Amino acid sequence: MALLAVTNLGLVAFDSSYVPWRDFWFRNFPELTRVYDRVKGIEPHRDTGAYLDTVDLLQQELQQTGLQSSQVQARLQELRDRSAEIVDTNPFAGANKSGTLEKIKNRMREHIFQHRRRESAKQAFNTFWSTGFLTQRGVNNELEFFNREIRPLIASNYYRSIGENGEFVDWFWLIDAPFIAIFALEFLARTFYLSRRYKSLSWIDAALWRWYDVFLLLPFWRWLRIIPTIVRLDQARIVDLSHIRQQASQGFVANISEDMAEVVVIQVIDRMQSSIERGELSRWLIQSINRPYIDLNQRDEVQELTTHILQTTVYQVLPKVRPDLEALLRHSIETVLSQSPAYQGLKSMPLVGDLPRQINERLVTEVTSGFYDAIVLALNDKAGAELASKLVKSFGQNLATELQQQRSLQKIQGLAIDLLEEIKVNYVKRLSEEDVEGIIEETRQIRKLRS
């Protein structure tokens, strides 16, 4: 079935390109055009065909009676008349081959007037089909030129029949119909098999399982058959498209991931803003105080978390930042003492020398050491850990209680909504200056309404 789909797709491609490439097939495969012209409703054009038939009669009469006979003279006059008619009526236009007529006229002018294309094409044909010109240049030479340079261009013209529907006659559907019938039978059989094998699948679901095969059944948009053909070749392992499929999926995901992430983040922020405006923040604060705390594992996570953070800070962080802490404390003490007149007078007294600085260093060392030792001692004491945990809980409860105050709650809600809007503008959305100005103005109006 994959090879049959490839064959059908090849015929579709050939049929679609036949008319635009007919000149190529006509020059290189004339027997093919004689057969396939019938499929496309193509037949020789009567005017250009009659013109070439007249040239053939002229060649026969020249062999029988010679150039000076009355029959040849009448035939030359007929060719001059037909040449003028072709130039005036342009029988090539119906086949969209007006360029071919221009090529014929240019070649004839170049041959007669030696590359002077501005001369009249009718005059060039009149001169070519005249007794004097043929006698001067030689009848055989000129007829050979015509058969080599002009005849193929004239013979490439054609007439395409038009049906009663106003469209060009096209019998390709007779060639395509057997393929469509085979694909339709295969589609029905596969759908029946899938619906029988998988009981949860309905007939429509089984048909949609191979939705791309529908393109093989359409008598129009035949170029879409490339989709099921490629899929069938891949499934039959005639070609390996796994790498291309992987690259295509990655490119698709990469293109939409950023836009999807932006949409999701914006929706989350919008929902948070809506929740705050509906007062869900205040309800959550009230519920957090009044609702009893549910312990799932008989552990005080707040106390353990506080203890862990304090231990990490004291045993790991403070020893590393102690020099910086001492430098900051030393600078602060020196700044305060430098503003004291007593300290300045002490420094100017004789025999004191560097004693004030030594006292300052001693004081800084004692303060930092005492503070650090006090923290370590508190951590090693269970009662100190419990007091720290109690402090954290009390701080959270009192903070929530104070935040429930109407004025404080309104201010927090307004600031939270504005902060979320600024996050959308600065970090999520890619807005123009006009959009940013509009959002700022809208925010101002909302603030006025709140106040």
DSSP 8-state assignment for residue 162: B
- d(CA 340, CA 347) in angstroms, rounded, equals 11
- d(CA 260, CA 239) in angstroms, rounded, equals 34
Of 136, 160, 184, the last residue of a domain is 160
CB 315 within 8 A of CB 309: no
Task: List beta partners, residue 168.
Answer: 162
Of 100, 131, 160, the last residue of a domain is 160
Write 403-408 long-range contacts (CB < 8 A, 24+): 403/285, 404/282, 404/285, 404/286
- d(CA 123, CA 80) in angstroms, rounded, equals 9
User: Is 68 part of a structural domain of the chain?
Assistant: yes
State the burial class of residue 232 (Cβ atoms within 10 Å of its Cβ: 0-12, 13-18, 19+).
buried
DSSP 8-state assignment for residue 163: -
Q: What three-state secondary structure class fits 160? A: strand
**Is 435 found in the same domain as 289?**
yes
User: Is 399 part of a structural domain of the chain?
Assistant: yes
CB 94 within 8 A of CB 48: no
Residues 298-355 have pLDDT tens digits of 665 656 666 667 677 777 777 777 777 777 767 766 666 566 565 555 555 554 455 5
User: Is 206 part of a structural domain of the chain?
Assistant: no
Given its phi and psi angles, is residue 298 left (phi above 0), alpha (psi -120 to 50 degrees) or beta? left
- d(CA 180, CA 8) in angstroms, rounded, equals 9
User: Is 190 part of a structural domain of the chain?
Assistant: no
Tell me which residue has tokens 């699948």: 201
**Is 290 found in the same domain as 437?**
yes
User: Is 120 part of a structural domain of the chain?
Assistant: yes
User: Is 308 part of a structural domain of the chain?
Assistant: yes
Residues 278-287 have pLDDT tens digits of 766 666 655 6
Round the average pLDDT of the chain to a whole number and report it.
78
pTM of the model: 0.53
Q: How many domains does the chain have?
A: 2
CB 5 within 8 A of CB 212: no
User: Is 398 part of a structural domain of the chain?
Assistant: yes
Higher pLDDT, 291 or 267: 267
User: Is 367 part of a structural domain of the chain?
Assistant: yes
Residues 164-185 have pLDDT tens digits of 888 888 899 999 999 999 999 9
* % of residues, the chain, pLDDT over 70: 61
Structural domain that includes position 423? 284-294+302-450
Tell me which residue has tokens 């240049």: 137
Q: What three-state secondary structure class fits 148? A: helix
Of 160, 185, 210, the last residue of a domain is 160
Q: What three-state secondary structure class fits 43? A: strand
In the prediction, which pLDDT does 116 show? 59
DSSP 8-state assignment for residue 210: T
How far are the Cα atoms of 90, 102, 128, 232, 239 from residue 157, in angstroms, in the given order?
11, 13, 21, 40, 41
Please tell me the total number of residues recorded for the chain in this structure: 451
CB 285 within 8 A of CB 400: yes
Q: Residues 111-117: what's their mean pLDDT?
A: 74
CB 157 within 8 A of CB 100: yes
CB 364 within 8 A of CB 322: no
